[in-house]
Structure 1
């Protein structure tokens, strides 16, 4: 083969262009699915620590007229006018239509629940038994605890069982002792205020009625073991059955300087009660596993008020926590970024390879023209 023919040979590209463009197309298709997830993940990450934003997003999918009507009917059937009213308020806030007949039934149920006779019975029950069924009942419980009567009642009952080796409720006994200690003039020293006093009564009532999660009960138990000198209570023995001795023993056994975490918890429960009502405070202890989650409910209650119970009933723990971990959300965003990077890289490679091929062909044409010119000149000399 002559030198001229070798010069005009078109070089074959080493990297096919279609490989790069196929990869770029694949990444582009993947981006169609990844990009919405990435935007959603970014939005969820921003709302990760905001229970109000979390509940609003969840309600947009889980709450409508059908759900509202069913929940209100169920609440009315259970004689829970407070919950029915909460769902009406939530429906109004979410612009969900309810029938006028259903609204009237709720109004009638609320009026009956708030009647003087019902309020008196509920207050008396809360005051005497410490088992509140509504806001009035918890008011009775709180009044009893505020004047130490309720805490003495619980301390005497559970303390005598503890001293005699019978089955007793450690949480109720410990909370009653803490209540006696803080009510006896130590509010200011540990930052204890009215919401926390109400919250302590609510936590104790939730324990007595079984409306508290196992994880939360375990946390309170650990806190009480650090706060209460159980050996001192044990040494008091049968004398705990005497109210005066029970008060003195409880005050001496409680180390108020170590009650900070417990104070924060009952303070948040008290905030929920103040903003959203007694039942909402008790409901918060039914879904929360630790004090941080109660704090989230308190933040939700500050914003949502009376609608809080309906939100907790509809969403459960989903009202304060995302079901997706922050790690997974971050991975969604990283996946979208990797997809975008892959598309850009593949497209860049495709452009480079197409450019290489174009330049190679251009050089080949120039070489062919040059060879042709050489051939013409050689023929002319011949």
Structure 2
């Protein structure tokens, strides 16, 4: 009987392991299935990650750094996912984003964005875009690169190209009475991201290649996606996403996520990082859980078969011991 009990023990062990293997495999498969839906992918990635404890820590950290925008983004994300937030934290976030404080911060961000072209929130993006719409921003950037060239310092040709496109886009914006404003905003986002150091070399190379290859439609779509992301989710969230974007497809994912999540996008990137847009890690998880599932299924079948054999073996022995009855 020891074989029977050993097989039954293995069967129970594999059946118990299925309690973890099956849900984990199903979750990994759902991640891979949602790889083309940025909003759905982010929701799946947040499951089990955005806990009340994690939310409280992130909000407190943002408030300690006087970052009302990030704290408000976490409040919005928590409300959308049904994660409880204490009334005391809500009050502190509301105070940090009170109209007086927001106006003062917004005015400063607008002026900073107008003069330097750098903006990390909607007010800063508005200032940078306003500067670019007056051609001041593009002329300023060209002047900086010209000064670098005159001093023998490295010239950022990517920024020169963007400034040149921006001047043309500004003229088109006035000619079309503001129709291509999203494209103009996208140029401002790209320039600000370049200054902030969040545009990777591969992404910049792809844009430069599109410029040289004459792929105007692709370039327009890419820049338009960034302009849309900036207007829907804010410049900071767009910058956070651009750290993980390498091509036009990534920019489209970023735009789709920003349109679906709006003000929650900044908190999503703070929580998930690259996982908000891509499923590279999920592919490895899926491969692991598929192998684990196959082994678990094989173990269940083998254990069940061994248990049945051990249970029927005594019957075979009894039949073999019966004497044969000869006729006559």
TM-score after normalising by structure 2:
0.80
Are 1:146 and 2:133 counterparts?
yes
Q: How does 1:296-335 map to 2 (within 5 A)?
A: 296-322=253-279, 324-335=281-292
Are 1:69 and 2:56 counterparts?
yes
Equivalent residue for 1:271? 228
Equivalent residue for 2:167? 180
61 and 127 in structure 1: CA distance in 2 versus 1, 3 angstrom threshold = same
Deviations 1:103-127 (CA, angstroms, capped at 9, x unpaired):
2332232223432x55444323222
Deviations 1:273-292 (CA, angstroms, capped at 9, x unpaired):
22222221222223445544
Secondary structure (helix, strand or coil) at the match of 2:48 reads helix
Q: Contact (CA 8 Å) 1:220, 1:262: kept in 2 or not?
A: no
In 2: Cα distance, 1:278 partner to 1:47 partner: 27
For residue 308 of structure 1, report the CA deviation from its aligned partner: 1.3
Q: Contact (CA 8 Å) 1:223, 1:261: kept in 2 or not?
A: no
351 and 100 in structure 1: CA distance in 2 versus 1, 3 angstrom threshold = closer
In 2: Cα distance, 1:201 partner to 1:57 partner: 32
In 2: Cα distance, 1:261 partner to 1:353 partner: 67
2:240 paired residue among 283, 289, 293: 283
Equivalent residue for 1:91? 78
In 2: Cα distance, 1:258 partner to 1:297 partner: 21
Deviations 1:220-257 (CA, angstroms, capped at 9, x unpaired):
134315525xxxxxxxxxxxxxxxxxxxxxxxxxx6x3
TM-score after normalising by structure 1:
0.70
331 and 312 in structure 1: CA distance in 2 versus 1, 3 angstrom threshold = closer
Secondary structure (helix, strand or coil) at the match of 1:98 reads coil
Q: How does 1:1-382 map to 2 (within 5 A)?
A: 22=6, 25-26=9-10, 29-34=13-18, 36-48=20-32, 49=35, 50-110=37-97, 111-115=99-103, 118-162=105-149, 165-185=152-172, 193-210=180-197, 212=198, 216-225=200-209, 227-228=211-212, 257-322=214-279, 324-345=281-302, 347-348=304-305, 351=308, 358=315, 361-362=318-319, 364-365=321-322, 367=324, 370=325
After superposition, the CA RMSD in angstroms is 3.5
320 and 364 in structure 1: CA distance in 2 versus 1, 3 angstrom threshold = same
For residue 325 of structure 1, report the CA deviation from its aligned partner: 4.2
For residue 138 of structure 1, report the CA deviation from its aligned partner: 0.8
In 2: Cα distance, 1:68 partner to 1:177 partner: 43
In 2: Cα distance, 1:133 partner to 1:342 partner: 55
Choose 1 or 2 for highest CA Rg. Answer: 1
In 2: Cα distance, 1:290 partner to 1:104 partner: 41
Which ranges in structure 1 are unaligned for 5 or more consecutive residues? Answer: 1-16, 229-254, 375-382
In 2: Cα distance, 1:261 partner to 1:76 partner: 40
Q: Contact (CA 8 Å) 1:24, 1:342: kept in 2 or not?
A: no
Deviations 1:12-65 (CA, angstroms, capped at 9, x unpaired):
xxxxx9769856753652343245324322322222314434433443433334
59 and 135 in structure 1: CA distance in 2 versus 1, 3 angstrom threshold = same
**Runs of 4+ displaced beyond 4 Å:** 17-25, 348-357
In 1: Cα distance, 2:282 partner to 2:106 partner: 45
Secondary structure (helix, strand or coil) at the match of 2:155 reads coil
Secondary structure (helix, strand or coil) at the match of 1:62 reads coil
